[in-house]
Amino acid sequence: MSGTTSYDNEVYVTASYCDDFPSDPISDLTVAVDVMKNYVSDSIPRRTSGRVDHMKVLLIADDQRPPKEIRGASAEWRFAFPRVSLTKTTVSGMIKYLRIPFGLEKVQWRARYKDNWTRLESEDDVVARIFDVISNPKNAGVSEETASTRNLALSLRIKQEIVLPHEEYMETVERKRKEELAQRAYESITALFRMEAAGGERMSPRRRESTLREIAEKGGLDQPMFEQILRESALVSATTQQQQQGGSRRVPAAKLAVKKMEEEIIGPDSKKIMCAVCREEMKIGSMAACMPCSHKFHKTCIDMWLNRSRTCPMCRSKLPVTETSVWSGPRF
């Protein structure tokens, strides 16, 4: 689709203190930000606030109950602040740095997961609420003793929910399921090729073919995808052997760098995009990954590519090759 179709949507912002990720050892405040865009079906009953009414969902028969939501685009950042010098301007700068792909007007807000949602009318209102939670931790349920004696960690979740017609939603669910099965099949086949390339036990041709076919059947791969995965896995195997012999200039990207790439599901509201790896148009429901240079590809395609080369297929920009060189965010 061209992206001209308009769908109902709601944006939710939650800022809550937590203990399940480490605070920064230097600054006394760490902010972990999650920005995501998810899809939900218009057949799932929703409260007036826009949230899924889970009690009514339970009344839907199991065989008719769709997944609660589909994860679309997502990105994570981590920031470190000295609380003593924090201002609204700092918080506003952090929000602008995120380059959120949707507006923060008329959003649902809460400072704790047990709180009710409150409607905010503008991005300035959102900034003011975040600043209040940071400068007055007790308003978010943190005791004065804890706030004065410990480095704090704040989780900021910003989520847009887009409501799709149920038929389009279920098509997206099915395509996502097939993409995930194909991804697991690719990882299994690549691991098999890498093991043999690294000097592991070599299978007989008959056993190898039987194993590969079994993996393909479990992954629900059609013949073109199966052949593409075989070609890419063989190239990964050849690259591994050449690297061991010191004769390959191609270097795979660091796994952490690949993992940190933004992922999304191509939705009905997305513009038409051609994957430069397989040279096919990304269909609604396809899982896509976006490299730091902003070029998008099928997730399975770009994962296969980066397994043997760290360069973007379109502009040749490079991902890191070591885990320690993967950038994790700025300090303020």
Residues 254 and 270 in one domain: yes
Of the pLDDT bands very low, low, confident and very high (cuts 50, 70, 90), residue 55 is: very low
In the prediction, which pLDDT does 332 show?
38
Residues 93 and 238 in one domain: no
Residue where a domain stops, chosen among 133, 164, 195: 164
Residue 17 has pLDDT above 70, yes or no: yes
Of the pLDDT bands very low, low, confident and very high (cuts 50, 70, 90), residue 130 is: very high
Residues 153 and 261 in one domain: no
Residue 307 inside a domain? The answer is yes
Residues 160 and 230 in one domain: no
Residue 202 inside a domain? The answer is yes
Per the structure, how many domains does the chain have? Answer: 2
Residue 275 has pLDDT above 80, yes or no: yes
In the prediction, which pLDDT does 131 show?
94
In the prediction, which pLDDT does 90 show?
93
Residues 186 and 87 in one domain: no
Residue 330 inside a domain? The answer is no
Residue 3 inside a domain? The answer is no
Distance CA 282, CA 272 (A): 7
Residue 63 inside a domain? The answer is yes
In the prediction, which pLDDT does 214 show?
81
* CATH code, domain carrying 233: 3.30.40.10
Residue where a domain stops, chosen among 164, 188, 212: 164
Residue 327 has pLDDT above 70, yes or no: no
Would the pTM count as exceeding 0.95? no
In the prediction, which pLDDT does 201 show?
62
Domain range holding 233? 167-325
Q: Where is pLDDT greater, at 196 or 247?
A: 196
Residues 153 and 300 in one domain: no
Residues 223 and 206 in one domain: yes
Residues 128 and 257 in one domain: no
pLDDT tens digits, 60-86:
444 555 678 888 777 888 888 888 888
Distance CA 44, CA 283 (A): 24
Residue 332 inside a domain? The answer is no
Residue where a domain stops, chosen among 147, 164, 181: 164
Residues 244 and 295 in one domain: yes
Residue 2 has pLDDT above 80, yes or no: no
Residues 195 and 65 in one domain: no
Residue 58 inside a domain? The answer is yes
Residues 264 and 301 in one domain: yes
Residues 212 and 102 in one domain: no
Residue 108 inside a domain? The answer is yes
